[in-house]
Each structure stands twice: as C-alpha cells, then as structure tokens.
Amino acid sequence: MGPGQAADDQGSVSFFVLGCVVGFFALAGLTFDGGGKVHEAEHADAVAREAARAACEQVDPRAVLSGVYRLDRPWARQAGAAYVASAHMSGYTLSFPQRDVCKVTLTADYRTQLLDLIGITDLPVTGSGQARFVYGVTGIEG
C-alpha cells in the first residue's frame, strides 16, 4: 500500500476515469456511425434520383401512335420499383407532383457499428430525387 492510500482503495476505478472512458466511446460511436449514416443518406439520394430517372423513361406507347408523348404512370411505377429493388432497398414512394415529373422518396435504416454497444441499433435515413419526363429536343443547347 502506498502513502496516502487507504486499504479499501486497491483496484478501484474513479468515477472520473469511468466517465471519460464512457464519453470517449460515445463520441467515437457518434463520429463513426454518424459518418456511416451520412454515407447511407447519400446512397439513398442517389438511388432515389436514378429510380426517378428510370420511371421518367416510360413512354405511353398508345399515345405515341397518335403523335403525343406522355408518361405512362403504371409503367413508371413498375420501373421505379424495379430500380429500387435492384439496389436492394425498400421503403419507397413514387409520386407525380406535376404532370411530367416523377419524385421518389426512400426510407431506410443504417445499422450502427459502435452505437450498438449502448443499445442504439439503427439510425433512420431518408433519400429523395426527382426527374422530369422530356420527350424531345427542339434545337442545339449550349
């Protein structure tokens, strides 16, 4: 036993050290899993934009025969759903805010790595994207 040390202090950890260790792991978890959540949100945005583009490529074949180009909404829904499924994601909605605009919104969960140690297993992630149905070019752009 060293000078100034009581007999019952051997092997004990102070609350300050314990608090610092817990704080360090919480900060590391927030940093690591926060970055993972941002990456997953960027991925969800990219998938949503591409799903909207895939949906906006669906032309109504019956209307084309009469010289009218318009979006085939049922096919657009199928194409958007197929793209989202091919990206191994789910939890999406496809809407048409304007006549020739497709908007896709995705919701997903990011599985945490370090925050899982304190009971936080998932972080919600949302992504969105939209595209416009364009049926022709009238001239040279630029």
pLDDT tens-place string over residues 59-112: 888 887 887 788 889 999 999 999 999 998 888 999 999 888 999 999 999 999
Strand partners, 23: none
What length is written for the chain? 142
pTM here is 0.75
Rg (CA), the chain: 26
The token pair that represents 105 in the structure block: 């919104």
Provide the token pair at 122: 């998932």
Rounded to whole angstroms, how far apart are CA atoms 63 and 72?
A: 9
pLDDT band of residue 4 (cuts 50, 70, 90) is: low
Written as six digits, the tokens of 75 are 């096919």
Asked if residues 97 and 128 have their Cβ atoms less than 8 Å apart, the reply is no
Give exposure, 111-140, as e/b (b: 16+ Cβ within 10 Å): ebebbeeeeeeebebebbbbbebeeeeeee
Count of beta carbons in the 10 Å neighbourhood of residue 52: 26
Position 142 scores a pLDDT of: 46
Angle (CA) 95 91 86, round 5°: 90
Strand partners, 59: 71
